[in-house]
Structure 1
Amino acid sequence: MAPNTGVASAAGRSMDPSMLHSGKWWNHGHIVKLNLLLIIPLITSYANGFDGSMMNGLQSVEHWKSYFGYPKPEDLGLFNAIQSIGAFCAIPISPYISDGLGRKNGIAIGAAIVLVGAILQTATQNLGMFVGSRFLVGFGTTFAQMASPLLISEVAYPTHRAPLTSLYNTLWFSGSIVAAWSTFGTFRINSDWSWRIPSALQGLSSIIQLLFVWFLPESPRWLINRGRDEEAKAILARFHADGDASHPLVSFEYNEIKEALALESEAARVSWLDLFRTPGNRRRMRIIIGIGVFSQWSGNGLISYYLTKVLDGIGITSSNDQTLLNGILAIYNFIIAISASMSVEKVGRRPLFIISTAGMLVAYAIITAMSGTYEKTKNADAGRTLLAFVFIFNGFYAIAYTPLLVSYTVEILPFLIRAKGLAAMNFSVMGAIIFNQYTNPIALDALKWKYYLIYTIWLVFELVYVWLWATETKGRSLEETAALFDGEDAVAELANRTGHDMAESRGVKRAGSDSQDEKLNIEHSHREVA
């Protein structure tokens, strides 16, 4: 089921709003407990966010630079890219772990590998050990990153699925903040611990996950797909209906899952070619691969991993100033991304993508102009303006590409190709990252400010792309979302098959219901449960 299915179902034509909780969600202990447990998969983004900010910070730490012989631009490319190469290598395997062993086991396996990598990185004795440990961190992160958003979207309470799944990628900045401020604090230590302590902190989220992942509920959709229906019903009852197995919401969700899965082939028969086999899936993949590439090729990769070089270019060269700015930027990005995550259902996906891309284009054009002006004239005002627009650019990026990259991908994919579709998105992201991490330090060193101009031109292409093909999915049920990509005829059978069972599960005759009255009831329900 798509992650917005529950949200949309709560608001869609097939779910009776009376099934949902009354009053505020925090007054219901079972929902509070579920949301607290979902923090465990949510923090998976910590390790990935930590990495980019840590590498930014370490490039300003004198002991790190001297320990590795003052890395050249091509060495920096390897240090940064090897984590992404590790992640890239794990992508073909990770969907089979999530689909075969379950979402919980995928998180646990990934966390264990990341923890081993963080330990080895902390204990690094030479260049090869440092590179190998970072490969392991990337490799393990992919397993957890594949399973976590799937579990969140498939376990969350219906009205919470969209914001929680959007919040997942937003917590990238939790790792970024810890890394930025730890390097700001430790660069003053007059020993190798100035960089070993931040390296150790990269394993923090993995320790938390390995301690508490066993308390998480498994995905009801995964359990039903494996023939473990009673376990799935028990989880739905416990976390969505306060233990009441006879609650109509439990029957509704169970039947909805069963009917959706019944229309699709067995998971074992799903191949990578299915991602492109139908016109609807090709439309999906056009969007997914596009936003995956754009998430890294919008110029943010230059700022995220090479902020030190950007600051050097405008005369901010002290370790104190650079690590301080890195820390402030991380907190600023986090606040923007959290705000955007909470507004996904109100504003919609398409407007956020368009506003984000257009804002980045304008900001990067000004960054390009100010960088060129500063390089030629050393004008302090140009340098300060460039720094201000680095913040503005990051704010626009965080509006859409942070909260929506994963959640939008997951919500437009049917259940049985969801893991592979998410893997395809990760392929595009990691491919773009690896290219950037090898190219950016060399190109920036050779072209200076002119390198920014390439990203400015590319952002024009991105804006046209999202304007043409970003599809709005706000407030849509499973049937309605599928119809956007597959057409009405492709989902008619699902609507027909589910209609009788849904009415039966509620004990209500729905034939001939007035759609306008229902719409008003639904809108009232949304206001009540918000």
Structure 2
Amino acid sequence: MASTSVSSGHFRVAGKEFPKINWLKSPNLRSTYFLLFFVILTSATNGYDSSMVNGLLSLDQFAEYMNHPSGTTKGLFSGIMFLGSLVALPITPYIADGLGRRWGICIGAFIMILAVVVQSVSFNVQMFIAARFFLGFGVSIAHAAAPLLITELCHPQHRAIFTTIYNTTWYLGSIVAAWLTYGTSTIPSQWAWRIPSIFQALPPLLQITCVWFVPESPRWYISKGKPEIALAVLAKVHAEGNADDEVVQLEFEEVKDTLAIEKQAEQTGWLELFKTRGNRHRLLILVSAGMFSQWSGNGLVSYYISGVLDSIGITDSDMQLKINGVLNIWNCIVATSMCFFVDKLGRRPLFLVSTFGMLISFVIWTILSERFDATHVKSNGSAVVFMIFVYYTFYNIAWSGLLIGYSVEILPFSIRAKGMCYMFAMVDIGQFFNAFINPIALEKIQWRYYIVYCAWLAVELVFVYFFYIETKNTPLEEIAKHFDGDDALVGGNAATQKGRAIEVEIEGMRNASVAEERVGIVAKS
């Protein structure tokens, strides 16, 4: 396993330490990170949607227009979006790997815009549900490409922070939707719900307009046989245009050689994650991360807060919208703050503290819900609201940002896009389950349904303890060493024994090819 020890005030590339840089004082890096804001809007769009649906279900105007939907129909309003996302997953890696990360974002954004138009003009339940299916289809395509671009473009010093921040912007979208829905709730017409729906088109519109100003992934350029463009991107973004910078040269050689080794090994298929011990370990983490991020009880509030609050006596629509809005602001503050500790504290400690805290707070949440059901004492209901905030504090320590940040970094380039699909598939299945089953279960068995999550959180804690490993302070290509040891396909100055052997093989093939060309030239002459 590779060492993660790095001196304070330094970052590491290819086994060498370099002084940390201030990105605010580097014009190209500063402008790149500003432009990456338009890439992370994909996650914000996802957050906007969940909060908007939550808000719409609390609006009398929406309920009346949709003929007071049952619990099953309410579940479909949210759940069908995740089904659309799941259906799109098989094609997403071919778009991101074939056309590029930026094209993946734009294609997904375009589909989202069309879906929002249909959703906003819906005149019945069926039309609304169909629009949300295609909205999920578009989100899936953009969501599969955006984190890849971020993690492959960022400076190695900032990669972990920015990749982790990506998923926390879910809450930015959620905040806007929560308060916009609250603001339009006083409109005595169908515009109360149509305005929030129309506004959902803004993030994808901004992405289509601005994402082309973001440099494409240098790793993608290398994979397409364009190393000179990749070097130019690395130099511009990481060294203010200096292609001879030592960090840039080390990065370039490590990425170029590693991708050549991966290509020679031909490990690019969907089944690669099942073939080696290291890849099976990755698969366990990916599948569990997608599952745990949605099946930890958070889905009860994210997509059906009105039902949770109804069960503790808070039935006023205005109060429900306020609680939803304040909760999302708090979530955003906690989740974003924790992004700056992923390399200082490490991934594994954050996951363990987060999961243990969720377990304890959810047990207390369940007990208080039972007490309210038995006594109808208002203070017990208020205490449940407080525990919801405590629960989400722990959830956001790890499961918000690191869901993407940890998943994307543990995958080698050759299977990164496909590997993320396994994780996203579990997220979509979990979200569909939450959106469709939670309202029904809460309606039928009320607080007793929480006991299921208490038991499941205990299982999560044990799994995280035994299978989640530390990767902090490790360059992207070198993280493979944590999973594969000496069999890791890593090139450049940090090459493993297997990596060097394949490099020798590649060099031999290259020399043989050159010799054949020379013989051919001599024969022709």
Q: What's the TM-score once normalised by structure 2's chain length?
A: 0.90
In structure 1, distance between residues paired with 2:124 and 2:366: 38
More displaced 10-residue stretch of structure 1: 98-107 or 225-234: 225-234
User: What is the aligned partner in structure 1 of residue 343 from structure 2?
Assistant: 345
Q: Is the 8 A contact 1:7 1:161 kept in 2?
A: no
- Do 2:184 and 2:191's aligned partners in 1 also have CA atoms closer than 8 Å? yes
- In the other structure, the counterpart of 1:456 is 454
Letter in 2 for 1:404: L
Partner SS, residue 12 of structure 1? strand
| AA at the equivalent of 1:339 | S
Contact 1:7 1:158 in 2 (8 A): no
SS of the residue aligned with 1:449? helix
d(CA) in 1 for partners of 2:20 and 2:285?
34
Q: Distance in 1 between matches of 2:144 and 2:310?
A: 36
Mapping of residues 125-524 of structure 1, within 5 Å? 125-265=123-263, 270-477=268-475, 481-490=479-488, 494-495=495-496
Matched with 1:54 is 52
Letter of the aligned partner of 1:85 in structure 2?
L
On the 8 A contact 2:331/2:392 being kept in 1, the answer is yes
SS at match of 1:159: coil
Deviations for 1:167-211, whole angstroms, at most 9, x for unmatched residues?
000000011001100111111100000000111111111011011
Counterpart mapping for 1:34-45 below 5 A: 34-45=32-43
Q: Is the 8 A contact 2:151 2:159 kept in 1?
A: yes
Mapped partners of 1:236, 1:292: distance in 2: 31
Whether the aligned pair in 2 keeps the contact of 1:7 and 1:162 (CA below 8 Å) is no
Letter paired with 2:69: P
**Is the 1:103–1:151 Cα contact (8 Å) retained in structure 2?**
yes
Partner of 1:519: none
**Hey, what's the Cα distance between the residues in 2 that align with 1:217 and 1:14?**
23
Partner residue in 1 for 2:510: none
1:476-512 Cα shifts (integer Å, max 9, x gaps): 245753222112344587336989xxxxxxxxxxxxx
CA distance in 2, matches of 1:21, 1:269: 34
Counterpart residue type for residue 99 of structure 2 = L
SS where residue 122 of structure 2 aligns?
coil
User: 1:429 & 1:7 partners in 2: Cα distance?
Assistant: 37
Q: Which residue of structure 1 lines up, in the alignment, with residue 115 of structure 2?
A: 117
CA distance in 1, matches of 2:7, 2:316: 49
* Structure 1 Cα separation of the partners of residues 105 and 435 of structure 2: 27
Question: What secondary structure, in the 3-state scheme, does the structure 1 residue paired with 2:344 have?
Answer: helix
Deviation, 1:16, is 4.0
Following TM superposition, by how much is the alpha carbon of 1:149 offset from its aligned partner in structure 2, in angstroms? 0.4
Identify the range of structure 1 (163-172 vs 208-217) with the bigger mean alpha-carbon deviation: 208-217
Tell me which residue corresponds to 1:508.
none
- TM-score (normalizing by structure 1): 0.89
Q: Which amino acid aligns with 1:224?
A: I
In structure 2, relative to structure 1, the CA distance for the partners of 1:366 and 1:269 (3 Å cut) is closer
One-letter code aligned to 1:183: T
The residue identity in structure 2 corresponding to 1:82 is: I
Aligned mates of 2:499, 2:416 — CA distance in 1: 21
* Shift in Å, 1:403: 0.7
Cα pair 1:44 1:148 within 8 Å, conserved: yes
For residue 517 of structure 2, what is the aligned residue in structure 1?
none
Aligned length: 493
1:55, 1:404 → 2: CA distance?
25
Offset, 1:21: 6.3
> How far is 1:13 from its partner?
6.5
Seen in structure 2, the aligned counterparts of structure 1 residues 489 and 231 have a Cα distance that, compared at 3 Å, is closer
2:255 and 2:477 in contact (8 A); partners too: no
Task: Using the TM superposition, give the Cα deviation of residue 14 of structure 1 relative to its aligned residue in structure 2, in angstroms.
Answer: 2.5
Question: Quick one: distance in 2 between partners of 1:257 and 1:347?
Answer: 27
Q: Report percent identity of matched pairs.
A: 45
Distance 2:183 2:397 in 1: 29
Paired residues of 2:301 and 2:308 also in contact (CA < 8 A):
yes
Deviations 1:362-403 (A, max 9, x none): 111011111111111101111111110011111111111101
Matched residue of 1:453: which SS?
Answer: helix
Cα deviation, 1:388-440, whole Å, max 9, x if unaligned, reads 00111111111111010011001111110000010110011111111222211
Which residue matches 1:527?
none
Inter-CA distance 27–445: structure 2 relative to 1 (3 Å threshold): same
Letter in 2 for 1:39: F
2 CA distance for matches of 1:225 and 1:396? 39
Partner of residue 12, structure 1? 12
Give the letter for the 1:12 counterpart.
Answer: R
TM-superposed CA distance for 1:245, in Å, is 2.2
Distance 1:361 1:21 in 2: 38
Determine the structure 1 residue equivalent to 2:518: none
Structure 2 counterpart of 1:220, one-letter code: P
Cα distance between partner residues in 2 of 1:401 and 1:132: 30
The CA deviation at 1:343 is 1.1
**3-state SS, counterpart of residue 11 of structure 1:** strand
- Deviation track 1:134-193 (CA, whole Å, cap 9, x = no partner) reads 111111011111110000011111211000000000000011001100111111100000
**Residues 347 and 471, structure 2, Cα contact 8 Å, conserved in 1:** yes
Residue by residue, what CA displacement relative to the aligned partner does 1:225-274 show, whole Å, maximum 9, x if unpaired?
A: 00111211111121111112222222222111111011113698621111
- Partners in 1 of 2:301 and 2:212 — Cα distance? 37
SS at match of 1:455: helix
* Whole-angstrom CA distance in 2 between matches of 1:478 and 1:333: 28
Counterpart of 1:138 in structure 2: which amino acid?
A: G
Shift in Å, 1:467 = 1.0
Shift of 1:468: 1.1
Unaligned runs of 5+ in 1: 500-530
Cα distance in 2 for residues equivalent to 1:118 and 1:349: 36
- Is the Cα–Cα contact under 8 Å of residues 355 and 394 in structure 2 kept in the other structure? yes
> In the TM superposition, what whole-angstrom CA distance separates every residue of 1:259-291 from its partner, at most 9, and x where no partner exists?
101111369862111111111000111111111
Contact preservation (8 Å) 1:479, 1:495:
no
Q: Cα distance 1:189–1:213, how it changes in 2: closer, same or farther (>3 A)?
A: same
2:411, 2:393 → 1: CA distance?
Answer: 28
Whole-angstrom distance in 2 between the partners of 1:100 and 1:498: 25
1:59-78 aligned within 5 A: 59-78=57-76
Deviations 1:102-157 (A, max 9, x none): 00000000111111111111111121211111111111011111110000011111
Is the 1:349–1:474 contact (alpha carbons within 8 Å) kept by the matching residues of 2?
yes
- Any conservation in 1 of the 2:13–2:250 contact (CA below 8 Å)? no
- Aligned residue type for 1:196: R
Amino acid at match of 2:375: T
Letter in structure 2 aligned against 1:495: T
- Which amino acid letter does the alignment assign opposite residue 228 of structure 1? K
